[in-house]
Amino acid sequence: MIFQKGGVDTMGKTIKQQKWVLTILLSNIFIAFLGIGLVIPVMPSFMNIMHLSGKTMGYLVAVFAVAQLLMSPIAGRWVAEISAHTTQTNFVSDLKKSVNPLYFTAFIIVFVLAFGLSAYETVFSLFSDHKFGFTPKDIAGIITISSIFGVVVQVFLFGKMVDLLGEKKLIQICLFSGAILAVASTMIASYFAVLAVTCLIFLAFDLLRPALTTFLSRAAGKEQGFVAGMNSTYTSLGNIVGPAMGGILFDVNINYPYLFAAVIMVIGLGITFVWKEKTLAEGVTE
């Protein structure tokens, strides 16, 4: 918690400065994802023009996650050097610590979820182009409407859903719904059916990510930095393997990445049932 006196917090920043820093941070995130959002709808066009395979497209997406994984520890060290209030940690030591049974189950869930979601999302535009003949405009329209729908529900209903169901139950519902919708995606044909199913599955993903992050943060206790760092690391690992596997399966059968994502989400759902909520919280307090 940051205490303020006379408009200045304990880190020496005024409220105005904090807002400016937050604005810069959010602007950077917006620009980064704007770039990604511009690329996804035209991926099938690049694939066709350059005669690339699904495997190659999967590898191209995975490279982004590799760069993120490599840069995260470096960025963490920069932050530690700039801010005296930040605790600097050793990435390798944290990675070894993460395989402790007290933490590993939680991070495996993170990995499995990132794996399944990224496998689905990577081939969405390719799937829509090859199976339905959708244009980049059609694909962009579906992604835009689905994203807006997800944001609206997140802003107005996420907190209420967490209060009503709890993070773990919400995670389980999203995983179950996501698996069913991923299978349903292989059985529909019309534009509006694809739009409806995509809106729902993107909503499940949009609720799943913050629910898992909130759950881990609440369970982390005094190990917030370690858990947050490993959450990012295992997410990046899933985002590397998922697109690569999705691209490989796409070349075999365009339905396989979706069915594979459904299987992965079912596995993640199974893990949540055997994962005791108190395990992480008890482990970090010892």
Question: What does the block give as tokens for 184?
Answer: 């349903």
Structural domains counted in the chain: 1
Distance CA 199, CA 188 (A): 14
Q: Over the stretch 11-55, which tens digit does the pLDDT of each residue have?
A: 455 777 777 877 877 777 777 767 666 777 777 777 778 888 888
pLDDT computed for residue 6 by the predictor:
47
pLDDT computed for residue 87 by the predictor:
56
In a domain? residue 1: no
pLDDT computed for residue 75 by the predictor:
64
pLDDT computed for residue 46 by the predictor:
75
The residues of the chain scoring below 50 in pLDDT are 1-11, 284-285
Q: Is 5 helix (H, G, I), strand (E, B) or coil?
A: strand
Q: What is the DSSP string of 34-94?
A: HHHHHHGGGHHHHHHHTT--HHHHHHHHHHHHHHHHHHHHHHHHHHHHH-TTSPP--HHHH
In a domain? residue 190: yes
DSSP 8-state class, residue 4: E
This prediction has a pTM of 0.76
Q: Is 8 helix (H, G, I), strand (E, B) or coil?
A: strand
pLDDT computed for residue 4 by the predictor:
47
pLDDT computed for residue 1 by the predictor:
40
Instruction: Give the CATH number, domain containing residue 210.
Output: 1.20.1250.20
In a domain? residue 4: no
In a domain? residue 9: no
Whole-angstrom CA distances from 24 to 21, 27, 64, 211, 267 are 5, 5, 22, 25, 39
In a domain? residue 10: no
In a domain? residue 195: yes
Answer for the pair 199, 192: CB distance below 8 angstroms, yes or no.
no
In a domain? residue 6: no
pLDDT computed for residue 88 by the predictor:
57
In a domain? residue 2: no
* Domain span at 223: 16-285
